[in-house]
Every structure is written in C-alpha cells, then in structure tokens.
Amino acid sequence: MKQKRGYRRGYAVALFVGVEDDHAVLWQVFSHVVKLHLRVELEGRRTDERALYNFHESVVDALKPVLKEGVRSIVITAPMKTTYTLDFLGHVRKHHAYLLQSKGSNRTVFAELVGSADQPHKVAELVKTKEFRRLIAETTSEEADHIVDALEKQLYSLDNSSVVLYSLREIEGMVYDHEGHNDLGTEYLMLTDKYLADCEDKNRIHRLLQIAKNRKVKTRIVNAKTLAGKRVSQLGGVVFFATPTK
C-alpha cells in the first residue's frame, strides 16, 4: 500500500517558492500533488543588506539539490504589494546568472505569481487557480523545449562520442552500468507522460527513473501534447542522451 501512495504523487514537475517577510517555503510540485520540501528562515531584518543576501543565498542553496535532479521550472510567489519576488530574482540575476543563461545546461525557467504560499491551505488554493496552471504549463514547456534543443544538437552532431539512445533496454544498460560511463558529460533521460501511462510494466519504468535519479542523470517527464513531447514521441516516447563536457 505504501508503494501505491508513492506513485499517486506522480512525477516531479516544478518547484514552487513562497517568499514571505521573514522566511521562504519551498514546495515540490508533482503531477498529482504538491508537497512541502523545506522552510528557510531570514536571520535578521530585510533592511539589513547582509542578512537579506544570506537569506537569498540560503534559498538558492535549498533549490540546488532539486535542480540537479533535472527539475528546472520554478514559480516564485509573494504576498501582494511586496517586492519580495523581485528582490529574490534580482539576487539570482546578479549572483547566479548561470541559472538564466539561455544556452547553459543549468538554465532554469522562473515565473512570478502573486499570493502567499507559506501554509498548505494557501498553497492548495493557489495551485487550483488558472494563473498557476498557466504558469506551470508555460515554464515546463519552455524548459522541455530547451532540453529538446540540446537533444537535437546531439542527434545531428558529427562527434563520434555523441550518445543518443531510444531503446528502453539500451537505456537501462546505460543507466544501470553507470560507473562504466563516467565521461559522458551531462546526461538526460526524457519520456512523455503518455509513454509512462501506456507502459505495461510501470514498475520497470519507475525503477529506471529512480536509479537514474540516484546516479545524477537529469530526468524529465514531458507532456506528450507539447512540441517537446511530440518530438520525444517521434523517437518512441523515451530517449537518453548526453551533452559532452567541453
């Protein structure tokens, strides 16, 4: 029964960050639920530049482990008539510009929303709004397009070291024997939500996703109806590729 409850949360979609006056709350958005991830406190006052800098750094540090797993879509929200969202995004632009670079593998898509997200019932109300659903659809679609662009470059690369796999068996071999492939660079495992839903042996796919995650492969499940999803569907619904380290 515990295993079934775990599957009900679905797959990771995005991060939702509620920035308040003296703290921030990070939520993980899955395809079926939103779960509390972490709370970060502001040690001091917002008028203290050093305290605010340290606070923003702590929030970024809290985001990094999830970003490394492959989730690159983040929705930032703050109460109405505050500048908390702008303050945080300004900090990211100034001190973590690599997250916003259009061609970098670390590129993250940020979106802004108005509202308080420090309590479960408030988050539940926000995620039901059309605006939240629209932002999630837009950011995840943009994120997926960026990854597919990287995939296209590998498909047409003249470099013999380029790795692109479409066969589930070959992908499993690559992921499970990961220690023998430490020189591949940044690795991605993409599949569509339709491929996951239609797969007869879902335990096999979930095992692959979990092991890929444990071995630092960036995993993304994309909507089959989006442009990125249609491209992955053309390749069979699942694809593994690597972008070589330069």
Question: Hey, where are the domains in the chain?
Answer: 2-142, 161-243
26 strand-pairing partners: 17, 38
What is the 3-state composition of the chain as percent helix, strand, coil, each rounded to the nearest 5? 50, 25, 30
- Say if 2-142 and 161-243 have the same CATH topology: no
| Mean pLDDT (whole number) for 109-127 | 91
Nearest-Å Rg of the Cα atoms of the chain is 19
Task: List CB contacts of 150: < 8 A, sequence separation 6 or more.
Answer: 105, 188, 241, 243
Decide if pLDDT at 3 tops 50.
Answer: no
Q: What is the pLDDT of residue 43?
A: 96
Higher pLDDT pick, 228 / 54:
54
Instruction: Give CA–CA dist 9/28, Å, rounded.
Output: 10
Give me 13's structure tokens. 């979609």
Cβ atoms of 131 and 113 closer than 8 Å? yes
CATH number assigned to the domain covering 2-142? 3.30.420.60
Mean pLDDT calculated for residue range 99-124 = 84
In whole angstroms, what is the distance from residue 6 CA to residue 172 CA? 22
Are β-strands 12-19 and 23-30 bridged in parallel, bridged antiparallel, or unpaired?
antiparallel
Upper half-sphere CA count for residue 93 (Cβ side, 13 Å): 7
Report residue 19's pLDDT band, with 50, 70 and 90 as the boundaries: very high
Quote the pLDDT of residue 32.
81
Give percent above pLDDT 90 in the chain: 47
Residue 76 has pLDDT above 90, yes or no: yes
Domain covering 161-243, topology: 60s Ribosomal Protein L30; Chain: A; (3.30.1330)
How sure is the predictor about 5, in pLDDT bands with cuts at 50, 70 and 90? very low
Query: Within 10 Å of residue 131's Cβ, how many Cβ atoms?
Result: 13
- What average pLDDT does this structure show over 68-83? 90
Q: How confident is the model at residue 7 (pLDDT cuts 50, 70, 90)?
A: very low
With 80 as the cut, is the pLDDT of residue 159 above it? Answer: no
pLDDT of residue 102: 64
Query: pLDDT-based confidence at 235, cuts 50/70/90?
Result: very high
pLDDT digits (tens, 9 = 90+) for 174-212: 998 866 556 677 889 999 999 998 998 989 999 999 899
Decide: residue 239, CB within 10 A, 0-12 exposed, 13-18 middle, 19+ buried.
buried
107-111, 168-172, 182-186, 206-210: least confidently modelled range: 182-186
pLDDT at 78: 95
Q: What is the mean pLDDT of the chain?
A: 87
pTM, full prediction? 0.73
| Whether the predicted pLDDT of 219 surpasses 50 | yes
Cα separations in angstroms, 77 against 16, 55, 57, 131 = 8, 16, 17, 12
d(CA 89, CA 177): 39
* Residue 233 pLDDT level (bands cut at 50, 70, 90): very high
